[in-house]
Structure 1
Amino acid sequence: MELAFDYILRGILSVFFTSEGAFIWLPVVMVLAGLVLGIVVGATPGLNGPFAMAIALPVLISAFGTGNDALLPILGFLIGIMKGATVGGAVPAILFNTPGTPDAYLTTLDGHPMTRKGQGYKALKVAHFSSVSGDTFSDIALFIAAPTLAVLIESALDLPEKAALIILSLSFMAAVSGKSVTKGLLVGGLGMLLALIGTTLSGYGPRMTMGVTDLGNGIPLTSAILGVLVLGEVFCAIEDRIHERRKNRQTEAPRESTDNSLSWVEAKRLLPTILRSASIGTAIGALPGIGTTLAATLGYEAARKRQKADAALGSGVPEGVAATEAANSAVSGANLIPVMSLGIPGNFAAVFLILAVESVGDFTFGPQVFRFTEIKVIEDYGTIINAELVIAFGIFTLMVLANLFNWTIGRYVMLSLGILAKIPVTITPALVLLITITAVYSQDGGFIAIWTALAFGLIGYVLRRLEISLLPFVIGFILSPKLEELIRGGFSGSGGDPFFLLKSPIALIFLLASVAIVLRATRKKENK
């Protein structure tokens, strides 16, 4: 226990002091700046948190470099964006009935009726209180679950078991993401195949480059991810703008009311709803690939079943806003449980956190991070510690700071951004396209980065039009090198036994669970 507290203290101090012991404000300022930007982005039509994180990452790397000292400031900014965008997304949904995401649609069911009653800013206060409460609840679950799960995995699993666990995770995401399990498996395999281009662990030189020398070191990771996630969405948006008819819908400006305060008595009355939805969101978020929409739906339905006769959800009651916002916000923190403990991203925001740690410093997410090795001071070698564990607790500290800023400052930023919901969505695709192309060029360099982003943008466009989830593709692309490394290591360690995965009882259980999950999900979706 004393050793754990020592690491926690070192992680907290790493946010406020340099390795030389000098006090710094930079990580704290970056968290605050990221939070404010995230709220602004979340409140702007056509933009979202993952997009802002995608664009910010190359800029941050250019500004701070790739040393270990740059890791916490960069992650602090990205974490701030992630948390702020979740809160800010309620602004257009409540004030102007324009949800930017499917889960925000549920916020409109009670949020916008409150606006029509003249209680729009009260609805925003309820959304902020519920969102930050749910986020804080899930962060506490993260701080407890991630180290515990990682320690269990690291102590019980070897190379074959870890490889089988990744296969299980990919199968699970293919099963729960999208409408077709088969399509999810196929696009996940496509992502894994494309990740194998160029790089090789065999030492025989590049593979599958088709004579393109620039692909000798592999497909640029940042360009590929930004292409499929951001440019694919841009291409779809441009096509939609061309084909859709212009709608001259008049948005109703929020009316003023004398009842726009949120008293402690009212907030206290919302706590059971918030706690219930936060628990649902945390449980959903801990499972990779499910997302916020299901959490918001389940949270809203749970509140509906427990509603009082005089508080009918859908008629403009604070309980409806609280149920949705607490549930979808709780997903963001819980989604980092598989990231911190397994190195497996649970949603698109987590993807960019993984990209950041792979691009900056020597830190890597995974179970090896939470090795509580004894701290020793050895002459001529200095202090021997697990530096990754110190960084992990530094990341937890950044998340606590983001929550504190969200509680104290985020509310006022959120309440002042209603005007952003009136920005025409027609101008955002061109702006996003320009910013993304500039970002990939500055991050990965050369025109190969631009061509990669455009090619993967086309892949993202096709997958969206075919209504195929992008998450299995992205996760497969990111985890493919790690899976290859584990399988090669396990194959070599077994003396070249091709059935080494089947000879480990735990690995065999994981593989059988993968098959069972896929078969069950396939039957369930065929019966619908």
Structure 2
Amino acid sequence: MGVFDYILAGVFEAFTANPALVLGPLVLSWPVILVALGFFTGVLIGATPGLSGPFVMALALPILISIFGFTPDALLPVLGFLVGVMKGATLGGAVPAILFNTPGTPDAFMTTLDGHPMARNGQGGKALRVAHFASVSGDSFSDIVLFVCAPFLAISIEAFLGLPEKAALMILSLSFVAVVVGKDTWKGLLAACFGLFVASIGTGTDSYPRLSLGSDVLAPGLPTIAVVIGVLVVGEILVSLQEMYLSKRARRAAAEQLAPGDSALSLAERRRLLPFIGVSMSIGTMIGALPGIGTTLAAAMGYTAGRKMHRGTPAFGQGAPEGIAATEAANSAVSGANLIPALSLGIPGNVAAVFIILAADTIGGFNPGPAVFRFSAEEVNPELVVAFALFTLMVVANLLNWLTGAWFMRLLGGLIRIPKQVLLPIVLLLTLTSVYVEGSAMSDVYILLGFGVLGYLMRQSGVPILPFVIAYILAGPLETAIRNAFEASGSDPWFLFSSPVSLLFLALSAAIVLGAGWLRGTPTPDC
């Protein structure tokens, strides 16, 4: 099969291979339904302060797997929903930032600087349209870069890197994430090492389980979904509950809720925004392709670049549409680019990519990494067909964004925000239920709560969460690569230093740790 044949097979797989409704020649597939449902759910969640896309992805993953099962047909519907949520939540986050002056995430703070002043001037609808136009432009651009770069990067890695080089590359990625995320280099390295340690419990190729303490529960290894959701979601819920308790439910002045007002955005105004969108989405795409940096730095750099370009009135910070465009384009460009290392190398770049890899690993039939993009004319590579089907679903989500995103954002502008004291217990209950449904064992719930407490303690002590999660996810592939490289080298203990490329990767890992202060720059509180 040629490249064009694989693309056609992927499109066919996305639209017809898993039908939910057949009306003569028209077929409505489950993947398309789920990507649409995920997109609208993501916009709704993004517009709700206190929630985020990863929250919903964490809740939905066990439930979707329980509904669709572990068959290959389940893979695309689950991935479609997760991709839809990822794209919708980025778009929806602009709604509370603009209309309520309430940034739901750290990167949305930059949107409030110009979005809320526009809303106060009766231009809330225009601000939402600017945010939508910039967001969908940045998202579409980063997806195109993903479609082009991920196969090229994977083919290059597969062709030129052997087993020692791949192991050294994963060590380099872990070092980069550990150093860049958070404020303290050693705490980031500690989190990564602890993630590797936790992943080693009850796993490996040894006949006897490791670190299981003789427990039948620990012998097969910790349930990955319970560990990841516990640290990411339950830990964040506990921190939020503590903040509510410490404030003693002090009554705060409600954020001013403004009517959307004027919503017209002319073609000439869109053309004036294009230079700001172009620069910011390029910045966001480059940052997104680097694992672990996140959207906060992209938003800050995009806004700063836009402010340097701006010469007109109003100035940035006083209601300039260009400020919204620069921020939202950078934010949205990160989402697609973050899947470049996830799909081509199997290395998640952010929390959303973590859940996409988790879904692929849990269901089976698709193993993110260089082998996915192996083109073969003699035999069909089913993983490559799934990859192009996933790209097709991302295009569907972008089309939904272009056609309905602005309307849906304005519809959500009238929503009354849900108080945290009502929202958080509901989210906690849904989290417990989803993990129990996926594993059907109370031991999974206990592990979830235990790692939720661990996530809470890590946040309280300033230990970053993302290095722990990414190290936990990469532990299995890293161990496999090291074992295979060790065996292939004839049990040479210095196998990692056997090639110039692996030596270069290890030297870069050391340089990253030593140059941590310069690399870290602006803290990234995404996780």
After superposition, the Cα gap between the structure-2 partners of 1:7 and 1:502, relative to the gap in structure 1 and judged at 3 Å, is same
1:201-350 matched pairs, under 5 angstroms: 201-202=205-206, 204-245=207-248, 246-255=250-259, 257=261, 259-350=262-353
Equivalent residue for 1:34, pick from 38, 63, 77: 38
Q: Which residue of structure 2 lines up, in the alignment, with residue 504 of structure 1?
A: 499
User: Is the aligned partner of 1:448 residue 2:443?
Assistant: yes
Moved more, 462-471 or 421-430: 421-430
Deviations 1:45-98 (A, max 9, x none): 211000001101111111111111111111111110000000000110100001
Judge conservation of contact 2:42–2:92 (CA < 8 Å) in 1. yes
Tell me the TM-score normalized by structure 2: 0.95
Q: Residue type matched to 2:410 in 1?
A: L
Q: Which residue of structure 2 lines up, in the alignment, with residue 129 of structure 1?
A: 133
Q: Secondary structure at the match of 1:420?
A: coil
Judge conservation of contact 2:286–2:337 (CA < 8 Å) in 1. yes
Q: Secondary structure at the match of 1:29?
A: helix
> Where do 5+ consecutive residues of structure 1 fail to align?
377-383
Deviations 1:362-382 (A, max 9, x none): 1110000000111x4xxxxxx
Q: Which residue of structure 2 lines up, in the alignment, with residue 380 of structure 1?
A: none
After superposition, the Cα gap between the structure-2 partners of 1:226 and 1:320, relative to the gap in structure 1 and judged at 3 Å, is same
Q: Which residue of structure 2 lines up, in the alignment, with residue 476 of structure 1?
A: 471
Deviations 1:231-255 (A, max 9, x none): 0001101100000141331322214
1:362-373 matched pairs, under 5 angstroms: 362-373=365-376
Judge conservation of contact 1:49–1:349 (CA < 8 Å) in 2. yes
Q: Secondary structure at the match of 2:473?
A: helix
Cα drift, residue 267 of structure 1: 1.1
Deviations 1:300-324 (A, max 9, x none): 0001111114231000111011110
Moved more, 80-89 or 236-245: 236-245
Q: 2:137 & 2:521 partners in 1: Cα distance? A: 38
Q: Which residue of structure 2 lines up, in the alignment, with residue 8 of structure 1?
A: 7
Equivalent residue for 1:97, pick from 98, 101, 109: 101
Q: Which residue of structure 2 lines up, in the alignment, with residue 386 of structure 1?
A: 381
Moved more, 451-460 or 35-44: 451-460
Q: 1:184 & 1:403 partners in 2: Cα distance? A: 35
Judge conservation of contact 2:182–2:188 (CA < 8 Å) in 1. yes
Q: Residue type matched to 1:342 in 2?
A: L
After superposition, the Cα gap between the structure-2 partners of 1:525 and 1:112, relative to the gap in structure 1 and judged at 3 Å, is closer
Q: 1:220 & 1:520 partners in 2: Cα distance? A: 36
Cα drift, residue 527 of structure 1: 13
Q: 1:295 & 1:237 partners in 2: Cα distance? A: 25
Q: 2:393 & 2:368 partners in 1: Cα distance? A: 16
Cα drift, residue 525 of structure 1: 6.8
Judge conservation of contact 1:96–1:421 (CA < 8 Å) in 2. no
> Where do 5+ consecutive residues of structure 2 fail to align?
none
Q: Which residue of structure 2 lines up, in the alignment, with residue 381 of structure 1?
A: none
Q: Secondary structure at the match of 2:217?
A: helix
Judge conservation of contact 2:99–2:260 (CA < 8 Å) in 1. no
Q: 1:124 & 1:355 partners in 2: Cα distance? A: 33
Cα drift, residue 361 of structure 1: 3.2
Q: Residue type matched to 1:72 in 2?
A: L
User: Is the aligned partner of 1:88 residue 2:92?
Assistant: yes
Q: 2:479 & 2:522 partners in 1: Cα distance? A: 35
After superposition, the Cα gap between the structure-2 partners of 1:523 and 1:303, relative to the gap in structure 1 and judged at 3 Å, is closer
Equivalent residue for 1:79, pick from 58, 83, 87: 83
User: Is the aligned partner of 1:156 residue 2:160?
Assistant: yes
Q: 2:50 & 2:235 partners in 1: Cα distance? A: 14
1:352-431 matched pairs, under 5 angstroms: 352-374=355-377, 376=378, 384-420=379-415, 422-431=417-426
After superposition, the Cα gap between the structure-2 partners of 1:173 and 1:138, relative to the gap in structure 1 and judged at 3 Å, is same
Q: 2:416 & 2:59 partners in 1: Cα distance? A: 21
Judge conservation of contact 1:18–1:24 (CA < 8 Å) in 2. no
Q: 1:230 & 1:464 partners in 2: Cα distance? A: 12
Q: Secondary structure at the match of 1:247?
A: coil
Q: 1:342 & 1:253 partners in 2: Cα distance? A: 45
Judge conservation of contact 2:91–2:135 (CA < 8 Å) in 1. yes
After superposition, the Cα gap between the structure-2 partners of 1:101 and 1:527, relative to the gap in structure 1 and judged at 3 Å, is closer
Q: 1:186 & 1:439 partners in 2: Cα distance? A: 30
Deviations 1:176-233 (A, max 9, x none): 110011111111000000001011212x221101122111110000000000000000
Q: 2:73 & 2:387 partners in 1: Cα distance? A: 14
1:156-195 matched pairs, under 5 angstroms: 156-195=160-199
Q: 1:107 & 1:524 partners in 2: Cα distance? A: 25
Q: Residue type matched to 2:485 in 1?
A: G
Judge conservation of contact 2:139–2:332 (CA < 8 Å) in 1. yes
Q: Which residue of structure 2 lines up, in the alignment, with residue 196 of structure 1?
A: 200
Q: Secondary structure at the match of 1:419?
A: coil
After superposition, the Cα gap between the structure-2 partners of 1:291 and 1:525, relative to the gap in structure 1 and judged at 3 Å, is closer
Q: Secondary structure at the match of 1:497?
A: coil
Q: 2:350 & 2:130 partners in 1: Cα distance? A: 26
Q: Residue type matched to 1:334 in 2?
A: A
Q: Residue type matched to 2:139 in 1?
A: D
Deviations 1:375-409 (A, max 9, x none): x4xxxxxxx30010010000000000000011101
Q: Which residue of structure 2 lines up, in the alignment, with residue 379 of structure 1?
A: none
